[in-house]
């Protein structure tokens, strides 16, 4: 069983919980996902099954879209309302929420939250946080493609952004820009790449057999795809000769993607990743 399974993650469980349940339901150990969703968040979780676990770096688009709400007047340990309150302050009213949000469009740097899986010095930030250890966080480049207000009263907004963007940190920054303390209140991931909420199934549906996997070949359709003989050269990771214009290609055997190859020099290609 190999392919991509868009899952609707419910609030109250971690992304790892979803993977563990799917391993039990499908009786497959080789399962991963394309991006962690916070336990209180819900929405699209892209699950990779079997050989598809090797395809993550080669998927065409892992940008995300979210709908979030903010809470003003408090700063929390985790940058959302599930964390311990560290500081409180009077709320400065926001007169034009949409105009405030528009200031965050474009490329910018973002400081990842301490309660996150970003690695520093070989350890995840949340491991430092759990042990009350301090560590210098390094700002990361992100891109906000679109952002718009959906409800001024609830401080609800939609944002389309690059992979690696933390909406909790974005909420903190938006609040600060308005002269407030603030954090994220609720979060729904509505899209990962080309996969939306409409493409998702719940764990109950999977348990009842009501699901289908997106084939690896379809997920990698953005690569030019070529059959190659002898396929044993591909399995052994040998360099091959191809006459084509593309610099990266998918090699097929019986309509299944066996490997990703890239141009090394001239018509010679080398193996980047085997998918057998």
Write down the pLDDT at residue 120: 76
Does residue 7 carry a pLDDT above 80? yes
Catalytic residue among 2, 38, 80, 185: 38
pTM metric for this prediction: 0.87
Contact by Cβ (8 Å): 108, 142: yes
Please report, rounded to a whole number, the percentage of residues in the chain having pLDDT higher than 90: 80
pLDDT digits (tens, 9 = 90+) for 193-234: 889 999 999 999 999 999 999 999 999 999 999 999 999 999
Write down the pLDDT at residue 125: 77
pLDDT digits (tens, 9 = 90+) for 98-116: 999 999 999 999 988 877 7
In this prediction, residues 88-92 reach a mean pLDDT of 97
Contact by Cβ (8 Å): 191, 44: yes
Q: Which of 36-45, 126-135, 179-188, 224-233 has the lowest mean pLDDT?
A: 126-135
pLDDT digits (tens, 9 = 90+) for 18-42: 999 999 999 999 999 988 898 999 9
171 CB burial (10 A radius; 0-12, 13-18, 19+): buried
Answer with the residue of higher pLDDT: 131 or 78.
Answer: 78
* Residue 38 a catalytic site member: yes
Q: Cα angle vertex 25, ends 65, 194, to 5°?
A: 20
Q: What Å distances lie between residue 268 and 1, 54, 62, 218, 263, CA to CA?
A: 32, 23, 29, 26, 6
Q: For residues 121 and 168, give the distance between their C-alpha atoms in angstroms, rounded to a whole number.
A: 23
In this prediction, residues 62-67 reach a mean pLDDT of 93
Does residue 142 carry a pLDDT above 80? yes
Contact by Cβ (8 Å): 63, 193: yes
Q: For residues 78 and 17, give the distance between their C-alpha atoms in angstroms, rounded to a whole number.
A: 20
Q: For residues 123 and 85, give the distance between their C-alpha atoms in angstroms, rounded to a whole number.
A: 25
Q: Which of 10-19, 78-87, 127-136, 232-241 has the lowest mean pLDDT?
A: 127-136
């Amino acid at each position: 069983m190999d392919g991509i399974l868009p899952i609707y993650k419910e609030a109250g469980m971690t992304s790892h919980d979803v993977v563990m349940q799917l391993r039990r339901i499908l009786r497959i150990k080789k399962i991963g996902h394309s991006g962690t969703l916070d336990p209180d968040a819900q929405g699209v979780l892209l699950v990779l099954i079997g050989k598809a676990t090797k395809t993550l770096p080669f998927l065409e688009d892992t940008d995300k879209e979210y709908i979030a709400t903010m809470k003003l007047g408090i700063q929390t340990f985790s940058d959302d309302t599930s964390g311990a309150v560290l500081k409180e302050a009077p709320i400065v009213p926001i007169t034009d929420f949409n105009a405030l949000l528009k200031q965050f469009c474009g490329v910018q740097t973002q400081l990842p939250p301490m309660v996150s899986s970003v690695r520093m010095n070989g350890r995840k930030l949340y491991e430092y946080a759990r042990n009350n250890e301090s560590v210098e966080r390094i700002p990361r480049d992100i891109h906000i493609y679109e952002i718009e207000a959906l409800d001024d009263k609830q401080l609800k907004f939609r944002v389309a952004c690059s992979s690696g963007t933390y909406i909790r940190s974005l909420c903190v920054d938006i609040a600060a820009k308005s002269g407030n303390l603030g954090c994220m209140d609720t979060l729904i991931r509505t899209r990962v790449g080309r996969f939306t909420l409409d493409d998702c199934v719940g764990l109950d549906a999977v348990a009842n057999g009501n699901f289908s996997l997106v084939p690896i070949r379809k997920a990698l359709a953005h690569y030019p795809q070529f059959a190659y003989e002898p396929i044993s050269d591909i399995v052994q990771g040998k360099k091959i000769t191809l006459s084509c214009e593309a610099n990266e290609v998918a090699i097929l055997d019986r309509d299944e993607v066996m490997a990703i190859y890239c141009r090394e020099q001239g018509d010679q290609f080398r193996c980047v990743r085997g998918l057998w």
